[in-house]
Amino acid sequence: MDDLHKWLTHLVASYLEKDPDEISGSVSLATYGLDSVYAFVMCGDIEDHLDVRLEPTVAWDYETIDALADHLSSLVEQP
């Protein structure tokens, strides 16, 4: 979970070309300027990282890194 949160924070920071320390897990991705289409890029990167298949809209429904990390860990932990 912590690893996943950290990885997501680095991912978002890399999109924004910022330092991961500047990214808060509780701020919505839209507020950072990651608009609807970034969600598709992000979805692809998460799928590759976790080796899962996701709805392309997953980052629309879980709009912060905190929420997304929670959701993804529950998916990955399922048997």
Partner 1 sequence: MPEALEHLLGDPWDPANPLGYAEIVAADERQEMFAEAEQRLDAYGMNAEFVPVEYGGRFSTLDRLARVMRAVWRRDPCLGLGYGASSFIASVNVWAAGSSEQRTAFAKHLLADRKIASVYHELAHGNDFARAELAAYGMRLNGRKEVVTNAQRADSLVIFARTSPDPGSRSHSQFLVDKADLPQDRMAYLPRFPSMGMRGVQLGGVVFTDCPIPDDAMIGMPGRGIETALRSFQLTRTALPSMIIGVLDTGLRTALRFTTGRRLYGRAAADIPYVRAIVAEAFADLLLCDAFCTVTARTLHRLPGLASVPASLVKYVVSQQLIDAMNRLSSVLGAHFYIRDGDHAIFQKLLRDLAVIGFGHAARVACLATVLPQTPLLAQRSWPAAEQPPDAIFQLGTELPPLPFDALAVSASGRDTLSAVPRSMLDETGLDPELRRLAALFATELRELTSEAGDLRPMETGVGASPEALAIPARLAAVLAASACLGVWRHAEGGFLADPTWVVAALTRLTARIGKGDGHLPAPLTRRLMSELLTRHEDSRGFDLTAGSIAG
Residues of the shown chain interacting with partner 1 in the complex, contacts defined by CB under 8 A: 14-17, 28-31, 33-41, 43-44, 47, 56-57, 60-61, 63
| Cβ-based nearer residue to partner 1, 63 or 70 | 63
User: What is the SS3 assignment for 54?
Assistant: coil
**SS (HEC) of 16-48:** HCCCHHHCCCCCCCCCCCCCCCHHHHHHHHHHH
| Cβ-based nearer residue to partner 1, 22 or 61 | 61
Smallest separation, CB 75 to partner 1 (Å):
16
